[in-house]
Amino acid sequence: MSIKEEIAKNILFYRKKYGYTQSQLGKLLGVRNTSVSNWETGDNSIDIETLIKLCKIFNVELNDMYGPFGKKEEFTEKERKIIEAYRAKPGMQPAVDTLLLTENNTLANDMKSTIEKVTTPTKQK
């Protein structure tokens, strides 16, 4: 498969993954929806500056647009914002870890044990 075909498939893949119409994506890039359509069908090639803008919109590396689509795990916009907020507030990370019951969190495991003890019925004599 040619590079042009790979890029065409990737543009279509990521556009659909993020739920953009061709018209919406065109507005974000400052081009007509027919340009987006032509890139996705491989009728026209996208210029490098626009491809870089597209990578920023989809939060992917330029190299990702050249390879097989859907290969790399991607995050939604909401997931990226959650990760950014988590990283920006290191003091809150232990609380988030506790809520998510991460494996290495002793407090979370202690809480789980306590909950199990409280909710387990005792035998009557």
Question: Which pLDDT tens digit goes with each residue over 28-54?
Answer: 999 999 999 999 999 999 999 999 999
What is residue 78's predicted lDDT score, i.e. its pLDDT?
A: 84
Task: Spell out the domain ranges in the chain.
Answer: 3-65, 77-119
> Which of 31-45, 64-78, 83-97 is modeled with the greatest confidence?
31-45
Distance CA 64, CA 85 (A): 25
| CATH number for the domain whose boundaries are 3-65 | 1.10.260.40
Q: What is the mean pLDDT of the chain?
A: 82
Asked whether the predicted pLDDT for residue 57 surpasses 90, the reply is yes
Sign of the CA dihedral running 57, 61, 64, 65: positive
Q: Model's pTM, two decimal places?
A: 0.55
Tell me which residue of 65, 16, 30 sits closest to 45, measured CA to CA.
Answer: 65
Q: 67 with 77: CB under 8 angstroms?
A: no
Asked whether the predicted pLDDT for residue 65 surpasses 50, the reply is yes
Q: 40 with 29: CB under 8 angstroms?
A: no
